[in-house]
Structure 1
Amino acid sequence: MKKVIAALLILFASLFLGSREGSAFLLDAECGRSLPTNAKLTWWNYFDSSTDIQANPWIVSVIVNGKAKCSGSLINHRFVLTAAHCVFREAMQVHLGDFDAWNPGQNCSSGARLSNAYCVRIDKKIVHAGFGKIQAQQYDIGLLRMQHAVQYSDFVRPICLLINEPVAAIDRFQLTVWGTTAEDFRSIPRVLKHSVGDRIDRELCTLKFQQQVDESQICVHTETSHACKGDSGGPFSAKILYGGTYRTFQFGIIIFGLSSCAGLSVCTNVTFYMDWIWDALVNLSA
């Protein structure tokens, strides 16, 4: 029996060993690649610019009772990374690919494969054991296992996570959101929006939100579009050079911001939790 379990773990691990640099390896060798957008985007015109799902094929909508509640990111064929507070007791689905942000329930009602997208039921959920025990927003990280593996395409592809080695320090991130864009929560975009955020001193967020923002979190300032209702669980990301290719890596998970949806956001520091992510994937796949 022990030999069978060991063999299964080796088989599971081999799914992620497609790209190595020393002892480090990408969680999924096909990660972080996307088709370019039609528009030429720079740091100066990136703010509030509409994008398309092919430019961000890892973006996931988290559906609960037919409604889009949160966002997430595809990290391999079977798993979605999101915030712990986005993991609900009710039956959940995730929607990946080219979908209608205004009517997710209609597209997800059958749980079937759509033209360029997947709507898949969640069969296992996990949140960090520390979530809710110290402060409301500490350990705010969770994983969703889809009922079946999804095939990659131009519209569906994982974001990069690096195992066994920290990625380079990044101070500027890309935020790609579906959620509301105004404090009254009535302005919901139908298409993805880009924004750029800069890492700032955690003490500023600690003072602003009147709760401790520690090394397991990142404090981010954005000039225009911000994390808002419906964006929780979505990725803060950046392109970095790895193995001679620029790929998109995830650095943060959106967890909360100002009620005005302006200025400051706090996200879970993904690199802080890489050991937890790896252990959880192994346990959920056993």
Structure 2
Amino acid sequence: MLLVGIIYFILSVIALFPQYADSFVESHIERRIWNGWNSRDRPFFVLLRAERYATDGNKTSESQVCGGSIISIQFVLTAAHCVYNENYVYTQISVLVGDFTQDPWKIEKTLKVHVRRHEEYNGGERDPYDIAILRLPEPVSPERVIRLCAGSYNDTHLSACGLGQTGPNVKEASVLQEMDLMEKIAESDLALCNLPNYDLQICGRDIIPMQRRWICEGDLGGPLYPKNPETDKAECLYGVTAYTSNETCYHDTAIFTRVSAQVGWINRNMKDYSFICPSGHK
């Protein structure tokens, strides 16, 4: 009876003060990629950690966390903004390879990488060239590689995964999180995304808008992929998570860099080993 009374009291308060209902729910439900779910193992997924300090004279080091995808045994694809910012000097960029579906994570390797961002990336938060390739110092298992998508998957169920924020003041998820979304091409959806270049970018929207399930800080750079409906396995890498609203993480749209539009650039750079070293570059 006591429990029933408590529940009745809570519901009564929410009914009387509906303006506080959202904040109550936000503080009492478990957050995953902002309301996603525990992902199955995505062996191509990697965690990227970049150590950097500001160029304004403040030498305090800080860490930036992003996701990435293994696209060959020695190369990872991520977002350019994860490895470059004109206001920072990056002193070390590392990729963690392992199984992130376990708590604690089962890390196989931590590798310092060399990087190359797209030459036309200028640092804007909706930049259509927000993509970078990382060269690993040693090969990983071919079983970890995800192929690049060649076709279009608009109005098809897609998935994104990451280890970003799962709630207020939470830096990273304890296990890999996943959510489903769709690429939208209607003018109304593209307007919500404020998409600069449809040919180079993907406008992703939650399948059920306004259910507060979305990508957040720390998930950027991670993969967008279609899944086999029978096996639940990722079929190919369709996009790189590039932009979402970091202010609320409730925005039901996000921008992804379109991988199929950058296949030529990716292949050229996988053949070119003259990568810049992350130590000391801007």
TM bucket (normalised to shorter chain) is: 0.5 to 0.7
Q: Which amino acid in structure 1 is aligned with residue 47 of structure 2?
A: S
Paired with 1:202 and 1:130, the residues of 2 have a C-alpha distance of 27
2:239 aligned residue: 252
2:268 aligned residue: 279
Distance change in 2, residues 1:97/1:204 (3 Å): farther
1:24 aligned residue: none
Paired with 1:220 and 1:283, the residues of 2 have a C-alpha distance of 32
| Contact 1:216/1:268, CA 8 A, preserved across alignment | yes
With 261-270 and 221-230 compared, the bigger mean Cα shift is at 221-230
| Contact 1:173/1:237, CA 8 A, preserved across alignment | yes
Paired with 1:229 and 1:64, the residues of 2 have a C-alpha distance of 14
| Contact 2:153/2:183, CA 8 A, preserved across alignment | no
SS at match of 2:76: strand
Unaligned runs of 5+ in 1: 1-46, 105-114
Paired with 2:241 and 2:83, the residues of 1 have a C-alpha distance of 14
Q: Which amino acid in structure 1 is aligned with residue 78 of structure 2?
A: T
The answer as to 2:97 corresponding to 1:96 is yes
Q: Which amino acid in structure 1 is aligned with residue 96 of structure 2?
A: H
Aligned equivalent of 2:172, options 188, 198, 203: 188
| Contact 2:118/2:130, CA 8 A, preserved across alignment | yes
Q: Please list, as runs of the form range in 1=range in 2, the aligned pairs for 1:107-256 lying within 5 A after superposition.
A: 117-122=108-113, 124-132=114-122, 136-152=126-142, 157-161=144-148, 166-167=150-151, 169-170=153-154, 171-182=156-167, 184-186=168-170, 188-201=172-185, 203-204=187-188, 207-208=191-192, 210=194, 212-222=196-206, 223=208, 224-239=212-227, 248-256=235-243
Q: Which amino acid in structure 2 is aligned with residue 62 of structure 1?
A: L
Q: Which amino acid in structure 2 is aligned with residue 255 of structure 1?
A: A
Q: Which amino acid in structure 1 is aligned with residue 75 of structure 2?
A: F
Q: Please list, as runs of the form range in 1=range in 2, the aligned pairs for 1:260-279 lying within 5 A after superposition.
A: 260-262=248-250, 263-279=252-268
Distance change in 2, residues 1:261/1:192 (3 Å): same
The answer as to 2:82 corresponding to 1:82 is no
SS at match of 2:248: coil
Distance change in 2, residues 1:247/1:69 (3 Å): closer
SS at match of 2:116: strand
Q: Which amino acid in structure 1 is aligned with residue 166 of structure 2?
A: T
Q: Which amino acid in structure 1 is aligned with residue 46 of structure 2?
A: V
| Contact 2:224/2:237, CA 8 A, preserved across alignment | yes
Aligned equivalent of 1:51, options 39, 44, 67: 39
Report the alpha carbon displacement of residue 283 of structure 1 after superposing the two structures with TM: 1.4
Which deviations, in whole Å up to 9, do the C-alpha atoms of 1:5-51 show, x marking residues without a partner? xxxxxxxxxxxxxxxxxxxxxxxxxxxxxxxxxxxxxxxxxx72212
SS at match of 2:273: helix
2:49 aligned residue: 63
Cα RMSD (Å) of the superposition? 3.1
Paired with 1:264 and 1:208, the residues of 2 have a C-alpha distance of 7
Report the alpha carbon displacement of residue 141 of structure 1 after superposing the two structures with TM: 0.6
| Contact 1:126/1:143, CA 8 A, preserved across alignment | yes
Unaligned runs of 5+ in 2: 1-34, 52-61, 85-89, 276-282
Distance change in 2, residues 1:127/1:203 (3 Å): farther
Q: Which amino acid in structure 2 is aligned with residue 269 of structure 1?
A: R
TM (norm. structure 2) is 0.67
